[in-house]
Chains A and B, each alone.
Chain A
Amino acid sequence: MRLDRLQLDLRPRSHSQALDLGVALLRQSYFTCYATWLALWLPLNLLCGLLAWQYQDWAFFFLVIPWWLRPLLERVIVLVLSRAVFGQQLSWWQALRAWPKELGGGWFRVLTWWRLFMPGRGLYQPIWQLEQARGRFAADRRRVLGRDGAGPAAYWFGIACVHFEAVLQIGLISLIGLFTAPPDAMNPLWMLFDQEIAQSQPVFLMSLACYAIAVGVMAPIYTACCFTLYLNRRAELEAWDIEIILRRLAQERQGSKSIKLPTVGHTLAVLLAVMLILPQAVQAAPQCEPPEDKKVEADLIARQRTPAQSAEQQAIRTELDKVYTHDDLRGYRCVQTWTAKNKTPKEPEKEDKDEEDKGKRSEKVPDWAADLTKAILILGAIALVAWLLYRYRDRIVGAFQQAETRKLPGEVAGMDIRPESLPDDIPTAVRKLWAEGQQRNALGLLYRATLSRLVHQYALALTQGATEGDCVKLAQQAHQQGELPADTLALTQDITRIWLAAAYAQQWPSDAALDSSCSRWQQTFGGAA
């Protein structure tokens, strides 16, 4: 499953919003969905209609068949949508050919008691069809997916769809009834009220045709909505949205160059070391034996396994077994603690003796001594933490500043504002470029260096889309919050003004003005990077 290809905008959605999303999804692939669905549904109805016409005694049985088989036919819609949601568009013919393979799993349930009493089946069809879950595992999956109101939402949505279908069917029958009603009958449903006509063959077949049309319209909507409800529930359970964001972050991280700054890692390593040397119960690397019932379970699984079909399958099994040895997946926890070596179970007859021993110990070590030791140890620990915080204060402050600046881009709209990309002595470099006649480069460097200082010294959060005016506005906000000195703000405004006139109007400042700006820059930010 390639979550990065998912065509949905994932975010926490309520069940009603998730159902609503189904209509949007269906709209994307409406042609294939309807074409494939109708290619199965309409011929089935036609066939049943013909059989009902031919074998009039069995007419009712043949009319029930389309209703009965509908859940299996709906799987073709799930097939199309499950591909479409990952950006793969199947043709209606491909979907039709692939449909027979989708019929395995859950068919007995959906065709028997679920057919009558489970209008929310659409939520659970993908479990058999897409996850290939069977038996007990499928039952567990149904239970998990149906929790938190998703099951009832699908159930009531199914009931609502049944009503829609009924309304459509009755509407169509009424429409025909309006045109065929005898002149004296005002009731568009006159056919159904006349018992003799109602049981006649043409009315039977007309009802089937109206049902076929109503379900033909509604079934893709019902299936698509239940499918998005299923997707929403899975996204919620498996945190797809977070995974997508993490993948995106990883991509961005790979794309951007790393900024050389002190890391939080240093501080964390120190704190971890402190924690490890404290005389606490040590949670060692779990190497202990599994409990008896887990051993039995593992043996059972090993015995149930068929021999590997190929080397690849064997490799996958080995890989999986390795994964399942991880702490989080083993099903039991291994904890080591300190316990008294010679501890023996207390015996009731020894109680008195123990009491005596306790009394003797108390006489030897007074209570105040124990309390004093405890207090000294606590004070010592506090002093140690305080000293460590003081000793590494620069790194800790740096780490927090870095956490702020790491969010900021090293590049703003094509301008490299990383400190290491700038020369050590900015004013001298700017003056040199200016003297060489590279006016634009000189002013560009001065402006770039100003932005770099604002971002890296004052943690201004510039974005890709920030214009020069936005940068000045952010600087003003920082000044109002007391994070940016007034002279730095004034210098930023002046340099931005000079840069704007130069960049967009080729209006160059005088030599004196540039020299003055460079001097002010030196005073405000210092020369060296």
Chain B
Amino acid sequence: MSDSAPVSDRFTQAVEIVRRLREEISHAVIGQQAVVDQILACFLAGGHVLLEGVPGLGKTLLVRALAKTFSGDFSRIQFTPDLMPADVMGHAVFDLKNQTFSIRRGPVFTSLLLADEINRAPAKTQSALLEVMQERQVTIEGESHTLAAPFMVLATQNPLEQEGTYPLPEAQLDRFLIKILIAYPSETEELTMLRAVTQGRLGDSLDVANVATLIKADTVVALQQLVAQIRVDDAVAEYAVRIVRASRDWPGLAIGAGPRGSIALIRVARAMAVMAGRDFVTPDDVKTAALPVLRHRVALAPESELEGLSADQLLASLLEQTPAPRA
């Protein structure tokens, strides 16, 4: 995508690139189209994703496929209770030969970082990573190292085994642009996956060999910049604010989303507009983005938890009753 091209041409190119990115990812990831779309939207919006789902639903594969589409680096950290911040960020080692300290960069210096089971690591390590996500720079031995763009963290959480975990506090959850719940694939998708994995292969996982590299990392940055320029009408922005403000005193919610919620809502809605081939955001984009953007920014009231309600259910009723704009 050339920067010198007119805006409309650049937009057409961008839409085409996004379409092909989705196509390429779907070569490796079977089904889970909604999840792929949401991750792609977050990627285009330059945010970080928190994935929640049981093991074995293809989270790593998805990240590897995404990394391959743009010739980006990919790292994976398995978070454990003994993981220290230096294991993630990197540290200085003394070089005996040169009698100097040299910096050994940690796995965080990458384009796509899969932080597996982030809630297994102690708060210190979580905070260190979340700070990097926010600042996009790492300080080792007093020296700041800026992370190359694009940089995206995809952290996963297992909703089942809560024993011995350190749940992320609300303030830190807020740093994730969206939270995605990955469900089991449908029967047809699972059957297709089964055939693809077992057909003349030795291992038990899908690979990303079929995924073609389409763009360079620079193009990703250009794409993200273009997404940030997508037009948002005042009525749509007001709709986003209305939704977020409604969450603050909605019955059943103890804590609503902060201003960062409405900012995130518009960022993701912009990306969704591009994915839909539009150069402007509609209220539908905001509404589609609302659940993944807000579900981790609100806290349920104890009564709602007792009654077995989920944040998604409450937010769905909020969206149902918040008047949509008609400009």
Contact = CB atoms under 8 A, between A and B. Distances in A.
Interface of A: 9, 20, 24, 412-415, 444, 447, 463-470, 500-501, 503-505, 507
A422 to B, nearest CB: 15
Given A20-B306, A469-B282, A469-B284, A503 B326 contact: yes
A465 B306 contact: no
Interface residues of B, number: 26
For the complex of A and B, the 3 pairs showing the least CB-CB separation, nearest first, are: A469-B284, A505-B280, A503-B327
14 contacts: A9-B303, A414-B325, A447-B326, A464-B320, A464-B321, A464-B323, A464-B324, A465-B322, A467-B283, A468-B283, A470-B324, A504-B233, A504-B235, A504-B282
Interface string B227-240: 00001010110000
B154 interface: no
Contacts of B327: 444, 503-504
A24 B280 CA distance: 46
B323 A467 contact: no
B213 to A, nearest CB: 33
Q: Which of A415, A470, A504, A507 has the most CB of B within 10 A?
A: A504
A466 B324 contact: yes
A415 B279 CA distance: 25
Given A9-B251, A503-B233, A468 B319 contact: no
B22 interface: no
A504 B285 CA distance: 12
Nearest to B327: A503
Contact of B287 (A412, A447, A464, A467): A467
B281 interface: yes
A470 B284 CA distance: 8
B236 A465 contact: no
A465 B320 contact: yes
A447 B325 CA distance: 13
Contact of A467 (B278, B284, B306): B284
Nearest to B283: A467
Contacts, number: 71
A16 to B, nearest CB: 11
A526 B233 CA distance: 33
B326 A414 contact: yes
Nearest to B286: A467
B159 interface: no
A504 B322 contact: no
B282 A500 contact: yes
A468 B287 CA distance: 11
Contact of A469 (B287, B302, B303, B322): B287
Contacts of A505: 231, 233, 278-280
A468 B251 CA distance: 26
Given A413-B326, A503-B327, A468 B282 contact: yes
A447 B319 CA distance: 22
Contact of B280 (A413, A415, A464, A501): A501
Contacts of A501: 280
A35 to B, nearest CB: 23
A504 B270 CA distance: 13
Contacts of B303: 9, 24
Contact of A412 (B233, B236, B288, B326): B326
Given A467-B283, A467-B284, A467-B287, A24 B231 contact: no
Nearest to A411: B323
Nearest to B284: A469
Contact of A465 (B233, B235, B281, B324): B324
A23 to B, nearest CB: 9
B303 to A, nearest CB: 6
B324 A504 contact: no
Contacts of B231: 504-505
B282 to A, nearest CB: 5
A415 B233 contact: no
Interface in B183-224: none
B73 to A, nearest CB: 37
Interface in B269-298: 278-284, 287-288
B284 A468 contact: yes
A447 B282 CA distance: 15
A412 to B, nearest CB: 7
B4 to A, nearest CB: 24
